[in-house]
Amino acid sequence: MSVNDTLLERAKLTIPGGVNSPVRAFGSVGGTPRFYVSGQGATLTDATGRDYVDLVAGWGPALLGHAHPDVIDAVHRAVSRGLSFGASGPGEAELAELIRDRSVGVERVRLVSTGTEATMTAIRLARAATGRDLIVKFAGHYHGHSDGLLAQAGSGLATFALPGSAGVPADIAALTLVLPYNDPAALEAAFAAHPGRIAAVITEAAAANMGVVPPAPGFTTALRELTRREGALLISDEVLTGFRSGPRGYGGVLVDAGEDATADLVTFGKVIGGGLPVAAVGGRADVLDLLAPTGPVYQAGTLSGNPVAVAAGIATLHLADAEVYRRLAAAAEALAEAVAVALTAAGVPHRIQWAGTLFSVFWGPEVAAGVADYATAQRQDTAAYAAFFHAMLDAGVALPPSAFEAWFLTAAHDAAALDRIRAALPAAAAAAAAAASGA
Protein backbone atom coordinates (compact mmCIF):
# COMPACT_ATOMS: atom_id res chain seq x y z
CA MET A 1 0.00 0.00 0.00
CA SER A 2 1.43 3.39 -0.93
CA VAL A 3 1.34 6.48 1.25
CA ASN A 4 -1.43 7.76 -1.03
CA ASP A 5 -3.61 4.76 -0.11
CA THR A 6 -2.93 5.27 3.58
CA LEU A 7 -3.82 8.95 3.36
CA LEU A 8 -7.04 8.13 1.50
CA GLU A 9 -8.05 5.50 4.05
CA ARG A 10 -7.47 7.94 6.87
CA ALA A 11 -9.34 10.77 5.12
CA LYS A 12 -12.31 8.48 4.44
CA LEU A 13 -12.84 8.08 8.18
CA THR A 14 -13.77 11.75 8.58
CA ILE A 15 -14.34 13.22 5.12
CA PRO A 16 -17.10 11.74 2.88
CA GLY A 17 -15.31 9.69 0.24
CA GLY A 18 -12.05 11.04 1.61
CA VAL A 19 -12.25 14.14 -0.60
CA ASN A 20 -13.52 17.70 -0.34
CA SER A 21 -14.60 17.91 -3.99
CA PRO A 22 -15.95 14.79 -5.75
CA VAL A 23 -13.81 14.65 -8.92
CA ARG A 24 -10.71 14.27 -6.74
CA ALA A 25 -11.83 10.76 -5.78
CA PHE A 26 -10.92 9.36 -9.26
CA GLY A 27 -14.46 7.94 -9.52
CA SER A 28 -14.55 7.85 -13.31
CA VAL A 29 -10.98 6.64 -13.90
CA GLY A 30 -10.60 4.30 -10.90
CA GLY A 31 -7.51 3.84 -8.78
CA THR A 32 -6.16 5.80 -5.86
CA PRO A 33 -5.95 9.58 -6.08
CA ARG A 34 -2.55 11.13 -5.42
CA PHE A 35 -2.14 13.38 -2.40
CA TYR A 36 0.10 16.28 -3.36
CA VAL A 37 2.43 17.99 -0.95
CA SER A 38 4.05 20.62 -3.18
CA GLY A 39 4.04 22.21 -6.60
CA GLN A 40 6.75 24.08 -8.45
CA GLY A 41 6.34 25.44 -11.97
CA ALA A 42 4.78 22.67 -14.08
CA THR A 43 5.55 19.95 -11.53
CA LEU A 44 3.62 18.46 -8.61
CA THR A 45 5.12 16.21 -5.94
CA ASP A 46 2.97 13.61 -4.20
CA ALA A 47 3.16 12.27 -0.67
CA THR A 48 5.52 9.48 -1.74
CA GLY A 49 7.97 12.06 -3.11
CA ARG A 50 7.18 11.23 -6.74
CA ASP A 51 7.06 14.04 -9.36
CA TYR A 52 4.38 14.55 -11.99
CA VAL A 53 4.01 16.99 -14.86
CA ASP A 54 0.76 18.71 -13.87
CA LEU A 55 -1.99 19.14 -16.46
CA VAL A 56 -4.67 20.27 -14.01
CA ALA A 57 -3.05 23.49 -12.72
CA GLY A 58 -5.45 23.61 -9.78
CA TRP A 59 -8.31 23.48 -12.36
CA GLY A 60 -6.98 26.67 -13.88
CA PRO A 61 -5.62 29.15 -11.32
CA ALA A 62 -1.94 28.21 -11.75
CA LEU A 63 -1.70 30.18 -14.99
CA LEU A 64 1.92 31.12 -14.25
CA GLY A 65 2.88 27.71 -12.87
CA HIS A 66 2.92 26.67 -9.23
CA ALA A 67 4.71 28.79 -6.63
CA HIS A 68 5.67 31.60 -8.98
CA PRO A 69 8.23 33.53 -6.89
CA ASP A 70 6.56 36.93 -7.34
CA VAL A 71 3.14 35.56 -6.34
CA ILE A 72 4.57 33.75 -3.34
CA ASP A 73 6.41 36.92 -2.34
CA ALA A 74 3.22 39.00 -2.57
CA VAL A 75 1.40 36.42 -0.44
CA HIS A 76 4.24 36.34 2.12
CA ARG A 77 4.14 40.10 2.44
CA ALA A 78 0.36 40.10 2.83
CA VAL A 79 0.43 37.26 5.37
CA SER A 80 2.96 39.08 7.50
CA ARG A 81 0.48 41.97 7.87
CA GLY A 82 -2.32 39.73 9.20
CA LEU A 83 -4.84 37.38 7.63
CA SER A 84 -8.32 38.86 7.72
CA PHE A 85 -9.86 42.04 9.08
CA GLY A 86 -13.53 41.82 8.13
CA ALA A 87 -13.18 45.33 6.76
CA SER A 88 -12.02 46.84 3.49
CA GLY A 89 -8.37 46.93 2.46
CA PRO A 90 -6.56 48.94 -0.21
CA GLY A 91 -5.98 46.00 -2.57
CA GLU A 92 -9.63 45.29 -3.32
CA ALA A 93 -10.19 48.24 -5.65
CA GLU A 94 -6.91 47.47 -7.43
CA LEU A 95 -8.00 43.89 -8.15
CA ALA A 96 -11.47 45.10 -9.22
CA GLU A 97 -9.83 47.59 -11.62
CA LEU A 98 -7.53 44.91 -13.08
CA ILE A 99 -10.58 42.70 -13.75
CA ARG A 100 -12.62 45.56 -15.19
CA ASP A 101 -9.87 46.88 -17.44
CA ARG A 102 -9.16 43.46 -18.99
CA SER A 103 -12.75 42.32 -19.51
CA VAL A 104 -15.55 42.91 -21.95
CA GLY A 105 -18.50 44.93 -20.63
CA VAL A 106 -17.46 45.07 -16.97
CA GLU A 107 -18.10 48.43 -15.27
CA ARG A 108 -18.42 47.28 -11.66
CA VAL A 109 -17.01 44.28 -9.78
CA ARG A 110 -17.97 42.65 -6.49
CA LEU A 111 -15.42 40.24 -5.04
CA VAL A 112 -16.56 36.96 -3.50
CA SER A 113 -14.66 33.80 -2.57
CA THR A 114 -15.89 31.09 -4.96
CA GLY A 115 -17.26 30.79 -8.47
CA THR A 116 -20.39 29.25 -6.96
CA GLU A 117 -21.05 32.45 -5.04
CA ALA A 118 -20.36 34.56 -8.13
CA THR A 119 -22.96 32.80 -10.32
CA MET A 120 -25.45 32.56 -7.45
CA THR A 121 -25.17 36.32 -6.95
CA ALA A 122 -25.44 36.97 -10.69
CA ILE A 123 -28.71 35.01 -10.79
CA ARG A 124 -30.10 36.91 -7.80
CA LEU A 125 -29.14 40.22 -9.44
CA ALA A 126 -30.78 39.24 -12.72
CA ARG A 127 -34.00 38.29 -10.94
CA ALA A 128 -34.01 41.57 -9.02
CA ALA A 129 -33.23 43.62 -12.14
CA THR A 130 -36.01 42.02 -14.20
CA GLY A 131 -38.61 41.10 -11.60
CA ARG A 132 -38.76 37.65 -13.23
CA ASP A 133 -38.05 34.17 -11.84
CA LEU A 134 -37.02 31.74 -14.59
CA ILE A 135 -33.40 31.05 -15.51
CA VAL A 136 -32.13 29.42 -18.69
CA LYS A 137 -28.94 27.36 -18.60
CA PHE A 138 -27.43 25.05 -21.18
CA ALA A 139 -26.95 21.31 -20.76
CA GLY A 140 -23.37 20.42 -19.91
CA HIS A 141 -22.52 23.90 -18.61
CA TYR A 142 -21.25 24.04 -15.02
CA HIS A 143 -21.85 27.12 -12.92
CA GLY A 144 -20.94 25.86 -9.46
CA HIS A 145 -23.15 23.99 -7.02
CA SER A 146 -25.97 26.34 -6.04
CA ASP A 147 -29.40 24.65 -6.06
CA GLY A 148 -30.80 26.27 -9.19
CA LEU A 149 -27.75 25.65 -11.37
CA LEU A 150 -27.08 21.95 -10.84
CA ALA A 151 -29.36 20.52 -13.54
CA GLN A 152 -27.40 18.72 -16.32
CA ALA A 153 -24.36 20.58 -15.16
CA GLY A 154 -21.28 18.91 -16.63
CA SER A 155 -18.07 18.85 -14.54
CA GLY A 156 -18.36 16.33 -11.67
CA LEU A 157 -21.95 15.58 -12.60
CA ALA A 158 -20.82 14.44 -16.05
CA THR A 159 -18.13 12.31 -14.43
CA PHE A 160 -20.63 10.59 -12.17
CA ALA A 161 -23.40 10.56 -14.81
CA LEU A 162 -25.79 12.36 -12.48
CA PRO A 163 -28.65 14.33 -14.08
CA GLY A 164 -28.61 16.76 -11.18
CA SER A 165 -28.42 16.55 -7.43
CA ALA A 166 -30.55 15.08 -4.70
CA GLY A 167 -31.60 17.66 -2.18
CA VAL A 168 -32.69 20.30 -4.68
CA PRO A 169 -36.40 21.00 -4.09
CA ALA A 170 -38.56 20.41 -7.17
CA ASP A 171 -39.95 23.93 -6.86
CA ILE A 172 -36.44 25.35 -7.20
CA ALA A 173 -35.41 23.02 -10.04
CA ALA A 174 -38.60 24.05 -11.87
CA LEU A 175 -37.30 27.63 -12.11
CA THR A 176 -34.35 26.50 -14.26
CA LEU A 177 -34.95 25.66 -17.91
CA VAL A 178 -32.17 23.49 -19.36
CA LEU A 179 -31.70 23.89 -23.11
CA PRO A 180 -29.35 22.29 -25.62
CA TYR A 181 -26.20 24.35 -26.25
CA ASN A 182 -25.49 25.93 -29.62
CA ASP A 183 -29.18 25.84 -30.56
CA PRO A 184 -30.59 29.38 -30.88
CA ALA A 185 -33.96 27.99 -32.06
CA ALA A 186 -34.40 26.19 -28.72
CA LEU A 187 -33.83 29.47 -26.88
CA GLU A 188 -36.23 31.30 -29.15
CA ALA A 189 -38.83 28.61 -28.42
CA ALA A 190 -38.25 28.89 -24.65
CA PHE A 191 -38.83 32.64 -24.75
CA ALA A 192 -42.02 32.05 -26.75
CA ALA A 193 -43.23 29.41 -24.29
CA HIS A 194 -42.59 31.60 -21.22
CA PRO A 195 -43.29 35.17 -22.33
CA GLY A 196 -42.05 37.81 -19.87
CA ARG A 197 -40.90 35.19 -17.35
CA ILE A 198 -37.21 34.54 -18.12
CA ALA A 199 -34.89 36.67 -15.97
CA ALA A 200 -31.58 35.55 -17.43
CA VAL A 201 -29.73 33.23 -19.72
CA ILE A 202 -26.49 31.99 -18.17
CA THR A 203 -23.82 30.47 -20.39
CA GLU A 204 -20.19 29.55 -20.03
CA ALA A 205 -18.39 31.99 -22.36
CA ALA A 206 -17.07 28.78 -23.93
CA ALA A 207 -18.22 25.52 -22.40
CA ALA A 208 -15.26 23.81 -20.73
CA ASN A 209 -16.80 21.51 -18.13
CA MET A 210 -18.07 18.87 -20.62
CA GLY A 211 -14.77 18.95 -22.41
CA VAL A 212 -14.12 22.13 -24.36
CA VAL A 213 -17.08 23.05 -26.57
CA PRO A 214 -16.84 26.59 -27.92
CA PRO A 215 -19.96 28.47 -28.98
CA ALA A 216 -20.62 27.97 -32.70
CA PRO A 217 -20.04 31.07 -34.84
CA GLY A 218 -23.00 33.40 -34.36
CA PHE A 219 -24.36 31.64 -31.26
CA THR A 220 -23.08 34.25 -28.78
CA THR A 221 -24.44 37.07 -30.93
CA ALA A 222 -27.79 35.26 -31.13
CA LEU A 223 -27.85 34.94 -27.31
CA ARG A 224 -27.20 38.66 -26.99
CA GLU A 225 -29.87 39.61 -29.53
CA LEU A 226 -32.54 37.28 -28.13
CA THR A 227 -31.98 38.26 -24.48
CA ARG A 228 -31.99 41.96 -25.37
CA ARG A 229 -35.17 41.61 -27.41
CA GLU A 230 -36.91 39.65 -24.65
CA GLY A 231 -35.79 41.88 -21.76
CA ALA A 232 -33.72 39.14 -20.09
CA LEU A 233 -30.15 39.55 -18.88
CA LEU A 234 -27.24 37.64 -20.38
CA ILE A 235 -24.79 36.20 -17.84
CA SER A 236 -21.43 35.11 -19.23
CA ASP A 237 -19.69 32.69 -16.87
CA GLU A 238 -15.93 33.19 -17.28
CA VAL A 239 -14.98 31.50 -13.99
CA LEU A 240 -12.91 28.99 -15.93
CA THR A 241 -12.12 30.83 -19.18
CA GLY A 242 -11.47 34.28 -17.67
CA PHE A 243 -7.83 35.34 -18.15
CA ARG A 244 -7.00 31.76 -19.18
CA SER A 245 -8.44 31.17 -22.65
CA GLY A 246 -6.94 34.55 -23.55
CA PRO A 247 -5.78 37.83 -21.96
CA ARG A 248 -9.34 39.20 -21.98
CA GLY A 249 -10.98 35.86 -21.33
CA TYR A 250 -13.15 34.15 -23.90
CA GLY A 251 -15.19 37.35 -24.18
CA GLY A 252 -12.12 38.94 -25.78
CA VAL A 253 -11.74 36.01 -28.17
CA LEU A 254 -15.40 36.36 -29.19
CA VAL A 255 -15.16 40.13 -29.69
CA ASP A 256 -12.07 39.64 -31.86
CA ALA A 257 -14.10 37.15 -33.91
CA GLY A 258 -16.76 39.83 -34.50
CA GLU A 259 -19.36 38.47 -32.07
CA ASP A 260 -21.63 40.71 -30.00
CA ALA A 261 -20.23 39.30 -26.75
CA THR A 262 -21.02 42.03 -24.24
CA ALA A 263 -22.97 40.34 -21.45
CA ASP A 264 -24.91 42.18 -18.74
CA LEU A 265 -23.14 40.21 -16.02
CA VAL A 266 -19.83 38.33 -16.12
CA THR A 267 -18.57 35.94 -13.46
CA PHE A 268 -14.92 35.21 -12.69
CA GLY A 269 -12.95 32.88 -10.43
CA LYS A 270 -10.01 30.48 -10.68
CA VAL A 271 -7.23 32.64 -12.29
CA ILE A 272 -8.23 35.87 -10.51
CA GLY A 273 -7.22 34.37 -7.16
CA GLY A 274 -3.99 32.87 -8.45
CA GLY A 275 -4.69 29.79 -6.29
CA LEU A 276 -6.38 31.45 -3.32
CA PRO A 277 -10.15 31.82 -2.94
CA VAL A 278 -11.17 34.85 -4.99
CA ALA A 279 -14.05 35.05 -7.44
CA ALA A 280 -16.11 37.96 -8.70
CA VAL A 281 -19.33 39.04 -10.30
CA GLY A 282 -18.97 42.00 -12.63
CA GLY A 283 -20.98 43.76 -15.28
CA ARG A 284 -23.22 46.74 -15.96
CA ALA A 285 -22.99 49.46 -13.30
CA ASP A 286 -26.77 49.86 -13.06
CA VAL A 287 -27.21 46.13 -12.36
CA LEU A 288 -24.26 45.74 -9.94
CA ASP A 289 -25.41 48.81 -8.03
CA LEU A 290 -28.52 46.85 -7.07
CA LEU A 291 -26.26 45.07 -4.58
CA ALA A 292 -26.38 46.09 -0.92
CA PRO A 293 -25.44 48.60 0.40
CA THR A 294 -26.32 50.70 -2.70
CA GLY A 295 -29.34 48.55 -3.61
CA PRO A 296 -31.85 46.01 -2.31
CA VAL A 297 -30.07 42.76 -3.33
CA TYR A 298 -28.35 41.20 -0.35
CA GLN A 299 -24.93 39.60 -0.72
CA ALA A 300 -22.06 39.41 1.77
CA GLY A 301 -19.01 37.42 2.83
CA THR A 302 -16.80 37.20 5.92
CA LEU A 303 -13.80 36.43 3.70
CA SER A 304 -14.83 38.47 0.64
CA GLY A 305 -11.88 40.58 -0.52
CA ASN A 306 -9.57 38.79 1.92
CA PRO A 307 -6.24 40.67 1.86
CA VAL A 308 -4.03 37.59 1.33
CA ALA A 309 -6.21 36.21 -1.46
CA VAL A 310 -6.47 39.64 -3.09
CA ALA A 311 -2.66 40.00 -3.00
CA ALA A 312 -2.30 36.69 -4.86
CA GLY A 313 -4.87 37.79 -7.44
CA ILE A 314 -3.25 41.18 -8.06
CA ALA A 315 0.22 39.62 -8.43
CA THR A 316 -1.11 36.96 -10.81
CA LEU A 317 -2.98 39.38 -13.06
CA HIS A 318 -0.04 41.82 -13.15
CA LEU A 319 2.27 39.00 -14.23
CA ALA A 320 -0.16 37.60 -16.82
CA ASP A 321 1.21 39.61 -19.72
CA ALA A 322 1.32 38.99 -23.46
CA GLU A 323 4.42 36.82 -23.07
CA VAL A 324 2.61 34.52 -20.61
CA TYR A 325 -0.27 34.01 -23.05
CA ARG A 326 2.18 33.47 -25.90
CA ARG A 327 3.95 30.75 -23.91
CA LEU A 328 0.66 29.20 -22.83
CA ALA A 329 -0.59 29.07 -26.41
CA ALA A 330 2.70 27.63 -27.71
CA ALA A 331 2.74 24.90 -25.04
CA ALA A 332 -0.92 24.04 -25.69
CA GLU A 333 -0.38 23.79 -29.43
CA ALA A 334 2.72 21.63 -29.01
CA LEU A 335 0.95 19.32 -26.57
CA ALA A 336 -2.24 18.97 -28.62
CA GLU A 337 -0.15 18.21 -31.71
CA ALA A 338 1.81 15.51 -29.86
CA VAL A 339 -1.39 13.96 -28.49
CA ALA A 340 -3.01 13.94 -31.93
CA VAL A 341 0.04 12.26 -33.48
CA ALA A 342 0.22 9.59 -30.76
CA LEU A 343 -3.51 8.81 -30.81
CA THR A 344 -3.62 8.68 -34.59
CA ALA A 345 -0.60 6.36 -34.70
CA ALA A 346 -2.32 4.03 -32.21
CA GLY A 347 -5.60 4.15 -34.14
CA VAL A 348 -7.57 5.86 -31.36
CA PRO A 349 -10.44 7.93 -32.77
CA HIS A 350 -10.51 11.29 -31.05
CA ARG A 351 -11.27 14.95 -31.41
CA ILE A 352 -9.39 17.93 -29.98
CA GLN A 353 -11.43 21.10 -29.45
CA TRP A 354 -10.27 24.59 -28.53
CA ALA A 355 -11.44 27.76 -26.80
CA GLY A 356 -8.59 30.24 -27.17
CA THR A 357 -5.55 28.65 -25.52
CA LEU A 358 -7.70 26.04 -23.76
CA PHE A 359 -8.29 22.60 -25.24
CA SER A 360 -9.61 19.16 -24.39
CA VAL A 361 -9.58 15.74 -26.02
CA PHE A 362 -12.78 13.80 -26.79
CA TRP A 363 -12.46 10.05 -27.05
CA GLY A 364 -13.95 7.50 -29.42
CA PRO A 365 -15.64 7.19 -32.81
CA GLU A 366 -18.93 8.73 -31.60
CA VAL A 367 -17.33 12.11 -31.03
CA ALA A 368 -14.56 12.15 -33.64
CA ALA A 369 -16.62 14.34 -35.99
CA GLY A 370 -16.87 17.07 -33.36
CA VAL A 371 -18.87 17.96 -30.27
CA ALA A 372 -21.26 20.90 -30.16
CA ASP A 373 -23.54 19.84 -27.29
CA TYR A 374 -23.78 17.74 -24.14
CA ALA A 375 -25.69 14.85 -25.71
CA THR A 376 -22.76 14.29 -28.08
CA ALA A 377 -20.12 14.83 -25.39
CA GLN A 378 -21.72 12.09 -23.31
CA ARG A 379 -21.19 9.57 -26.11
CA GLN A 380 -17.43 9.62 -25.65
CA ASP A 381 -15.46 6.52 -24.71
CA THR A 382 -14.60 7.06 -21.06
CA ALA A 383 -12.97 3.60 -20.81
CA ALA A 384 -10.38 4.61 -23.41
CA TYR A 385 -9.68 7.76 -21.43
CA ALA A 386 -9.36 5.91 -18.11
CA ALA A 387 -6.69 3.62 -19.61
CA PHE A 388 -4.87 6.59 -21.15
CA PHE A 389 -5.09 8.53 -17.88
CA HIS A 390 -3.54 5.75 -15.82
CA ALA A 391 -0.76 5.04 -18.31
CA MET A 392 0.14 8.72 -18.25
CA LEU A 393 -0.04 8.87 -14.45
CA ASP A 394 2.23 5.82 -14.19
CA ALA A 395 4.69 7.66 -16.44
CA GLY A 396 4.56 10.78 -14.26
CA VAL A 397 1.98 12.95 -16.04
CA ALA A 398 -1.08 14.01 -14.01
CA LEU A 399 -4.07 14.60 -16.27
CA PRO A 400 -7.55 15.64 -15.10
CA PRO A 401 -9.23 12.53 -13.62
CA SER A 402 -12.20 12.77 -16.01
CA ALA A 403 -12.62 12.80 -19.78
CA PHE A 404 -15.02 15.75 -19.39
CA GLU A 405 -12.43 18.24 -18.21
CA ALA A 406 -10.16 20.62 -20.07
CA TRP A 407 -6.39 20.05 -20.02
CA PHE A 408 -4.77 22.90 -18.15
CA LEU A 409 -1.31 24.14 -19.02
CA THR A 410 0.74 26.87 -17.40
CA ALA A 411 3.31 29.34 -18.66
CA ALA A 412 5.85 27.17 -16.81
CA HIS A 413 5.32 24.16 -19.10
CA ASP A 414 8.70 24.35 -20.80
CA ALA A 415 10.47 22.09 -23.29
CA ALA A 416 11.50 19.66 -20.54
CA ALA A 417 7.91 19.27 -19.29
CA LEU A 418 6.63 18.80 -22.84
CA ASP A 419 9.35 16.23 -23.59
CA ARG A 420 8.36 14.24 -20.53
CA ILE A 421 4.74 14.23 -21.68
CA ARG A 422 5.73 13.31 -25.25
CA ALA A 423 7.77 10.36 -23.98
CA ALA A 424 4.73 9.01 -22.13
CA LEU A 425 2.27 9.36 -25.01
CA PRO A 426 2.90 6.30 -27.24
CA ALA A 427 2.37 3.75 -24.45
CA ALA A 428 -0.66 5.64 -23.14
CA ALA A 429 -2.16 5.82 -26.63
CA ALA A 430 -1.63 2.06 -27.00
CA ALA A 431 -3.35 1.50 -23.64
CA ALA A 432 -6.29 3.63 -24.82
CA ALA A 433 -6.50 1.63 -28.05
CA ALA A 434 -6.52 -1.64 -26.11
CA ALA A 435 -9.22 -0.41 -23.72
CA ALA A 436 -11.42 1.27 -26.33
CA SER A 437 -15.03 0.09 -26.04
CA GLY A 438 -15.70 -2.54 -28.64
CA ALA A 439 -11.96 -3.14 -29.22
Ligand X SMILES: *Cc1c(COP(=O)(O)O)cnc(C)c1O
The residues assigned a catalytic role are 142, 237, 270
Closest C-alpha among 306, 209, 320, 313 to residue 269: 313
Give the shortest CB-431-to-ligand X separation in angstroms: 28
- Under the binding rule (CB under 6 A), the answer on residue 143 touching ligand X is yes
Closer to ligand X at the Cβ: 204 or 381?
A: 204
| Positive or negative: CA dihedral 240, 246, 248, 253 | negative
- Under the binding rule (CB under 6 A), the answer on residue 209 touching ligand X is yes
- Under the binding rule (CB under 6 A), the answer on residue 239 touching ligand X is yes
With CB under 6 A as the contact rule, the residue among 46, 54, 92, 204 that binds ligand X is: 204
- Under the binding rule (CB under 6 A), the answer on residue 144 touching ligand X is yes
Closer to ligand X at the Cβ: 41 or 275?
A: 275
- Under the binding rule (CB under 6 A), the answer on residue 114 touching ligand X is yes
Amino acid letter for position 386: A
- Under the binding rule (CB under 6 A), the answer on residue 309 touching ligand X is no
Closer to ligand X at the Cβ: 114 or 227?
A: 114
Judged by CB under 6 A, the stretch of 27-35, 138-146, 217-225, 334-342 that binds ligand X is 138-146
| Count of positions on this chain that bind ligand X (CB under 6 A) | 14
Give the shortest CB-237-to-ligand X separation in angstroms: 5
With CB under 6 A as the contact rule, the residue among 103, 116, 121, 227 that binds ligand X is: 116
Q: Which residues from 361-380 bind ligand X, rule CB under 6 A? A: none
- Under the binding rule (CB under 6 A), the answer on residue 4 touching ligand X is no
Q: Which residue is nearest to ligand X (CB)?
A: 115
Judged by CB under 6 A, the stretch of 10-18, 46-54, 235-243, 295-303 that binds ligand X is 235-243
Closer to ligand X at the Cβ: 34 or 143?
A: 143
Closer to ligand X at the Cβ: 239 or 398?
A: 239
Judged by CB under 6 A, the stretch of 49-57, 61-69, 76-84, 141-149 that binds ligand X is 141-149
Closer to ligand X at the Cβ: 240 or 398?
A: 240
Q: Rounded distance, CA 165 to CA 142, Å?
A: 13
- Under the binding rule (CB under 6 A), the answer on residue 417 touching ligand X is no
Give the shortest CB-154-to-ligand X separation in angstroms: 9
With CB under 6 A as the contact rule, the residue among 43, 119, 152, 236 that binds ligand X is: 119
Q: Which residues contact 144 (CB under 8 A, 6 or more apart)?
A: 114, 115, 116, 117, 118, 119, 120, 239
- Under the binding rule (CB under 6 A), the answer on residue 240 touching ligand X is yes
- Under the binding rule (CB under 6 A), the answer on residue 211 touching ligand X is no
Q: Which residues from 251-290 bind ligand X, rule CB under 6 A? A: 269, 279
Closer to ligand X at the Cβ: 92 or 204?
A: 204
Give the shortest CB-75-to-ligand X separation in angstroms: 19
Closer to ligand X at the Cβ: 22 or 269?
A: 269
Q: What is the 3-state secondary structure (H, E, C) of the chain?
A: CCHHHHHHHHHHCCCHHHCCCHHHHCCCCCCCCCCEEEEEECEEEECCCCEEEECCHHHCCCCCCECCHHHHHHHHHHHHCCCCCCCCCCHHHHHHHHHHHCCCCCCEEEEECCHHHHHHHHHHHHHHHHCCCEEEEECCCCCCCCHHHCCCCCHHHHHCCCCCCCCCCHHHHCCEEEECCCCHHHHHHHHHHCCCCEEEEEEECCECCCCCECCCCCHHHHHHHHHHHHCCEEEEECCCCCCCCCCCHHHHHHHHCCCCCCCCEEEECHHHHECECCEEEEECHHHHCCECCCCCECCCCCCCCCHHHHHHHHHHHHHCCHHHHHHHHHHHHHHHHHHHHHHHHCCCCEEEEEECCEEEEEECCCCCCCCCCHHHHCCCCHHHHHHHHHHHHHCCEECCCCCCCCECCCCCCCHHHHHHHHHHHHHHHHHHHHHCCCC
Q: Which residues from 39-58 bind ligand X, rule CB under 6 A? A: none
With CB under 6 A as the contact rule, the residue among 237, 259, 373, 405 that binds ligand X is: 237
Binding site for ligand X (CB under 6 A): 114-116, 119, 142-144, 204, 209, 237, 239-240, 269, 279
